[in-house]
């Protein structure tokens, strides 16, 4: 990869992973709009690890609490920390199941589509606005139970379709269930850790087993993504205390219609299907 491609990929993953606008969708659009060779899912997963490590650093207190909670849960003790880790585990189950099914049916190899990104950007962008505008302001992560965790986790499974946005759909579900915006974002990011970690390890592991090599360019992209992501999550968690999700909803809808306009106007876009 060229230096320009490395920087662009790191900037896109490092910012869009946490914003409710779909990082996978934007990564798919990079080769479509630039004409560069598709960077492939392995590169996407390495940058995904960069954002995962940024989350671990930013939410280190919650990570430590979940580790304590795991020990408490094994001991059979019902504590605040054990409830947190149990809720994260329950919320992770749907995306693991759907991800495994997609891998088994090879559906994951046929959905890197600009058209699908556009449709999902519009549909779930509107849904994000509705849930955020009408959602109540009363629940925190401490109020989470297995039912709400399962609902939010089921919503997370929809993010396997590009353009949906993992953070976007989980925040949408949480806001719809009455969680205050900062807590909706917090649980969304905690929920992403096991799912993103498992997906990255699985896909990268398969690539290594098949003889693929992870180049220095790819590793550099992942490292750069980490620093960009750490800055993004810091700014975003401050913004959601005072700002609605409306700007993100508007961006998603505009992006979706612009893409559809380009696709159906006959403008040549690399790799569009």
Along the 273 residues of the chain, how does pLDDT read in single tens digits?
888 999 999 999 899 888 888 777 788 788 877 888 888 778 888 998 999 999 999 999 999 999 999 999 888 888 999 999 999 999 999 999 998 888 777 766 666 677 888 899 999 999 999 999 998 888 999 999 999 999 999 999 998 888 888 899 999 999 999 999 999 999 999 999 998 888 888 888 888 888 888 889 999 999 999 999 999 999 999 999 889 999 999 999 999 998 898 888 865 554 444
Distance CA 221, CA 201 (A): 17
Structure tokens at 254: 């505009």
pLDDT of residue 125: 94
User: Which tens digits make up the pLDDT trace of 10-59?
Assistant: 999 899 888 888 777 788 788 877 888 888 778 888 998 999 999 999 99
Of 111, 97, 187, 199, give the one whose Cα is nearest residue 149: 187
> Which residues, 6+ apart, have CB-to-CB distance to 231 below 8 Å?
14
pLDDT of residue 104: 77
> CA-based angle 175:123:181, to the nearest 5?
15
pLDDT of residue 196: 84
Q: Are 73 and 82 in contact (CB under 8 A)?
A: yes
Helix or strand or coil: residue 32? Answer: helix
């Amino acid at each position: 990869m060229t230096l320009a491609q490395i920087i662009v990929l790191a900037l896109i993953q490092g910012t869009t992973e946490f914003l409710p606008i779909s990082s996978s969708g934007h990564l798919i659009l990079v080769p479509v709009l630039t004409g560069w060779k598709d960077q492939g899912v392995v590169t996407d997963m390495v940058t995904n690890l960069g954002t995962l490590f940024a989350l671990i650093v930013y939410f280190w207190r919650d990570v430590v609490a979940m580790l304590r909670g795991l020990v408490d849960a094994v001991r059979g003790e019902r504590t605040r920390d054990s409830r947190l880790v149990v809720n994260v585990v329950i919320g992770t189950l749907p995306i693991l199941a759907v991800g495994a099914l997609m891998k088994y049916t090879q559906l994951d190899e046929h959905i890197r589509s600009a058209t699908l990104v556009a449709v999902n950007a519009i549909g779930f962008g509107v849904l994000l606005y509705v849930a955020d505008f009408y959602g109540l302001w009363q629940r925190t992560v401490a109020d989470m139970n297995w039912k709400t965790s399962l609902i939010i986790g089921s919503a997370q499974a929809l993010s396997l379709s590009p353009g949906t946005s993992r953070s976007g759909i989980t925040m949408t579900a949480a806001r719809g269930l009455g969680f205050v915006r900062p807590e909706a974002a917090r649980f969304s990011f905690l929920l992403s850790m096991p799912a993103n970690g498992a997906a990255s390890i699985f896909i990268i592991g398969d690539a290594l087993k098949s003889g693929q090599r992870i180049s220095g360019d790819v590793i550099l992209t992942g490292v750069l993504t980490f620093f960009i992501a750490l800055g993004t999550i810091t700014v975003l968690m401050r913004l959601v205390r005072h700002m609605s999700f409306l700007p993100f909803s508007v961006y998603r809808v505009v992006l979706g219609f612009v893409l559809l306009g380009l696709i159906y106007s006959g403008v040549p876009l690399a790799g569009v299907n």
